Chain A
């Protein structure tokens, strides 16, 4: 299944997403958790901790700032901009903030 979670700031999107991802993983589903928020915090709710959550964003930003090569494949993106969260969930940050698209 493919689920997107949306809503106003502070209502609990990230907490809901993280809990759903972990629950599905425990039920035996292979789970890819995508953080597409311009302020990516899903790592916190998945349980990877604040340092790792911030480190993922830094990896994503290094790309925007031209310090890293882009990954041409989906598998490469999952590898480079992702980390392993508990219960076998793979977390990937697919957003950026410091250099948002111009205009």
Chain B
């Protein structure tokens, strides 16, 4: 079996199912023998639930950044990307490591976790080069909308999983994200995932609204909704549910590179 690392960022509109898909993919790839780093760059609660991990109580990366003489942020002396990941990530099931940008609790006042945000941004820009992280599979969960893609928050990604529901809000958002991603110097492969599909026609509907082929369709699934409501990982709560099975097939496709990838325009 090939263990070449995959580097994936999951993007899309709010509520499209990014965290559930990212968390499930991370767990499945770990079970298939990958060393997996799951990234959560949302300042609001997210990926930990869908991974089945307990989130760190403090933004751990707050200790990892410092300012230089000119006041510019950098990783603290003695902390490279690998040390930052090993020291400040937390353990998730199946051996996945979870690195969070840190969560805003709302009680700290303005910009309380700026060091963590700065450290996280620097670490993710080194994932493709730093040993041994370059051998790790990376699954990143981005916050809703196009903003982080525009700010280069998925520089590690060879593949952008564009998650869209069969709604116009979701499709227009996905279109915008794809447009921004393709403006990157080395654009990632864009893979469209239709989520919460109820009818056979939904899949082609998403393709039509986006103007892009759909690589995988995940059915609307009460088990997935329930897992989310309970704050549980889909793969723990309902591993044989239709949605979990569909994500499993998507993982197989990703591993086999059998996806209809929309090449960079």
Contacts and interface: CB of A to CB of B under 8 A. Distances in A.
A9 B13 contact: yes
Given A97-B176, A97-B180, A100-B151, A39 B15 contact: no
B55 to A, nearest CB: 15
Nearest to B44: A8
B163 to A, nearest CB: 11
Interface in B117-155: 143-147, 150-151
Interface residues of B, number: 21
A14 B14 CA distance: 11
Contacts of A14: 169
Contacts of A39: 13, 144-147, 173, 176
A10 B16 contact: yes
Q: How large is the interface on A (under 10, 10 to 19, 20 to 34, 35 or more residues)?
A: 10 to 19
Contacts of B209: 50
Given A38-B145, A100-B151, A50 B176 contact: no
B18 to A, nearest CB: 9
Contacts of B168: 44, 50, 53
A54 B44 CA distance: 27
B147 to A, nearest CB: 4
Contacts of B150: 97-100
A99 B179 CA distance: 13
A78 to B, nearest CB: 23
B172 interface: yes
Interface in A38-84: 38-39, 41, 44-45, 50, 53-54, 57
Interface string B154-178: 0000000000000011011100100
A37 B145 contact: yes
B14 A11 contact: yes
Contacts of A45: 169
B14 A8 contact: yes
A9 B15 contact: yes
A54 to B, nearest CB: 6
A50 B150 CA distance: 22
Contacts of B16: 10
Contacts of A97: 145-147, 150, 176, 180
Contact of A38 (B15, B147, B171, B179): B147
B182 to A, nearest CB: 12
Contact of A50 (B44, B147, B172, B179): B172
B16 to A, nearest CB: 7
Contacts of B144: 9-10, 39
Nearest to A42: B169
B147 A10 contact: no
Contacts of B180: 97-98
Task: Kindly list the 8 A-B residue pairs having the minimum CB-CB distance in the complex, ordered from nearest.
Answer: A10-B15, A9-B14, A9-B144, A10-B14, A39-B145, A50-B168, A38-B147, A41-B169
Interface of B: 13-16, 44, 143-147, 150-151, 168-169, 171-173, 176, 179-180, 209
5 contacts: A9-B144, A10-B14, A50-B171, A53-B172, A100-B147
